[in-house]
Each structure stands twice: as structure tokens, then as C-alpha cells.
Amino acid sequence: MTRRRLVLTLAIALVGLQAGAAPRAKAPKNVILLIGDGMGFAQTTLGRIALGTNDATLRLDSMSHGGMVKTYPLDTPDKRVVITDSAAAATALATGHKTKNGMIAMLPDGAKLKTVLEAAQDKGKRVGLVTTVTISHATPAGFGAHVPSRGQETDIAAQYLDRKIDVLLGGGEAMFVPQSVAGSKRKDDRDLLAEARRLGYTVARTKDEMDRVHSGKILGLFAMEAMKTEPPEPSLAEMTAKALDLLGSNKNGFFLMSEGGQIDWGSHANNGPMTVKQMLDFDAAIGVALDFARKRGDTLVVLTADHETGGLALVGATAGTTAPYSMAWGSKGHSATVVPLLADGPGAELFSGVLNNTDIPKRIAKLMGLNLN
């Protein structure tokens, strides 16, 4: 090579380096998507304040990248809609498509939408759903079922088994037991617990039973309806740890969605102490996910919310009290405000800035080489 050609080659290489300045994201083998139902910026601040000092940090504070997420659903034909429910939001976060409030992984015309969980399964990854509400509730349902109405929880439960989702942990046994059982929500005689066992699941109803499972598929239902989120039930952190224990050994990797499902409920009730407890329980689960991911280096953790609930503002204390602040609730419902986005691990840089909720599964799919169509 002549000196002139060498100089030219070097110059081209340098230009090439500059043009490619945006680093190519490293592909994660595993993705953990954490969803705080109803967790707006104020709910995270409330959790931090509750720790007692102004420099206290939540586990989520240590995540390396972040931004905010727009949550609006699809408009109805006659009306603009700016406030989402958990069903449309879960559909967006799972499939990359906006839909009407109330619908689960389906467009208004009834077309089923492929979810990131299903796409991960197609690639040989193991998959799991964890929550503190019923496992058939809107947020997990958006990832593992397709129904026109979120109220069809008994159908959602059956679809999870059809899908052979490897890990299902939460509440909602009422959706799985036949109508003859007290408290059942089924309108038929199907016994989904027996069906699950025939499909190879271990069924667990207590923390001890859950702890004894070390391989295979698990269906853990720790309450007839939503969990109480108190011992002797397993905590969200303990369920998330078990899910990671079971999914983490798969050579092809895994996708896990774990939901703090009752931050929303505390905020619907404008109940400060309940919102704080649920926020801190969720943060403990976030810590479990981060510890797992950082030890391995091959796992992306993405954290967001489906929407904010309660229109919570943390404002000056009311006169005559010694508290440093007071909670002002703007609503008993959801609000339209953007919600937090945080990420950590390989590919985390793709989860920064202002994203739409539909961008999140698209970016997860791109990083994992999944086909969402």
C-alpha cells in the first residue's frame, strides 16, 4: 500500500468512525420489564420521602438511563381520549400498538396483536408474568392473552395455559377453579388447576410451595382474588426472585414482566400509606431484578408505568401540622401525565428521552431480534 493510499484509507476509516458515532446497542439475552401500575413521578417521590431523609434513594434511582413515556390510548371514533386505562396501556407496552381502553392485545376491529412475550417464546425464550393483583388482570393480560374486554378474566386465565407461559405468579385463583368452588368466578366446570397440572405445571398456593419449585413451569396463585401483599403470602420481590430463578437457566434466555399492581389501587383510594407501601414493595422487586441483571451482565431491565393514578401532587404542608409536606390528590381516577422510564443493562441507552409507550416493546423486540408482526 502506498503512503497516499494509506493516508486515504485512514481518513475514510476515521470518517466512518465518526459517522457511526451512535454506539451500536449490545443485545441483551434476557429482558425484565417492570411495570408500576399507576406509578407517576409523584408516587416515586413519595416513596423516596417515606424513607425518611432527603438524600434517601430508591433502588430504581440507580438505573443508568431514563426518560419519560406518553401513555394516551387510541381515540374512539367520536371522541379524543387522553387518559388510558391499564388494558390499552398494557396492549401498547406489550404489542407496540395503541388500542381502545378496555381491550387486551387486540385492535378495535378484533385483530389480535402479537405480544413481545409471544415473540420471545417463538424464539425459544422462556417467559413469565408476575403481579400482586389477579394474574388475569389487565397488565399481565396484555402480554399473554387476547380478548375484547379486560373483564373476561376467566378467558384470560385459560389463554395463559394455552400459551404455556412458563411462570405465572400472583393472585386470582377464582379464575381457575370450577364454578362449584366457593368464590369461583367461572361460569363453567373447567378446573384450570387440574388442566395446568396435566400440562406439566407445578401448582403452588403458598410461599412454601413456591419455594420448593426449582425447575419446570409454575402456576402460583396466592389469593382467590388480588393478593393482600402481606405475609404469609410471598412478596412481589420474592415472586420476582423465584421467576428469575426458574427462567434464568434457559440457554436461549427469557422475557419476564413483573408488575407492582396495587400502587394504582392505593392511588385510586387516595390512600397515602397504601401508595407508599406498594411503591416500596415494588422498589424491592426492582432491586431483585437489578441485582440479578448486574451479576449476569446479559439482562436488560426496563422500568415504566402504564399511567399515573390519582393526579398526585406533593405540596406544602397544611397550616398547623408538623409534616414537611402534604399530599394533594387531583382525582380518584387515572391522569394523562407522562410517566417515568428507566433502564439498566445491555441496550439501556435505547430507553432514554421522551418515548411513546408503543416504542418500548418495539425497542425490546429490536434488541432481542424478535418479530412483533
Minimum CB separation of residue 36 from Zn ion in Å reads 12
In the shown chain, the binding pattern of residues 244 to 273 toward Zn ion, with x for contact by CB under 5 A and - for none, equals --------------------x---------
d(CA 263, CA 236): 12
Please say which residue, 173 or 264, places its beta carbon nearer to Zn ion.
264
Applying CB under 5 A, what is the total number of residues that bind Zn ion? 1
Written in H, E and C, the secondary structure of 23-60 is: CCCCCCCEEEEEEEEECCHHHHHHHHHHCCCCCCCCHH
In the shown chain, the binding pattern of residues 209 to 248 toward Zn ion, with x for contact by CB under 5 A and - for none, equals ----------------------------------------
Nearest to 125 by CA among 248, 293, 291, 295: 248
Secondary structure (3-state) at 208: helix
Minimum CB separation of residue 267 from Zn ion in Å reads 8
Minimum CB separation of residue 306 from Zn ion in Å reads 8
Q: Interhelix angle for 272-296 vs 236-247, to 10°?
A: 20
Minimum CB separation of residue 47 from Zn ion in Å reads 18
Residue for grid cell 381491550:
103
Within 248-302, residue ranges assigned H as helices are 263-268, 272-296
In the residue annotation, 258 being an active-site residue is answered as no
With vertex at residue 190, the alpha carbon angle to CA 167 and CA 205, rounded to the nearest 5 degrees, is: 40
Minimum CB separation of residue 74 from Zn ion in Å reads 18
d(CA 303, CA 345): 12
Q: Which of 62, 64, 86, 184 is catalytic?
A: 86
Task: Provide the pairing of β-strand 167-171 with 126-134.
Answer: parallel
> Residue 308, interface with Zn ion (CB under 5 A)?
no
Interface residues with Zn ion (CB under 5 A) are: 264
- Catalytic positions are 86
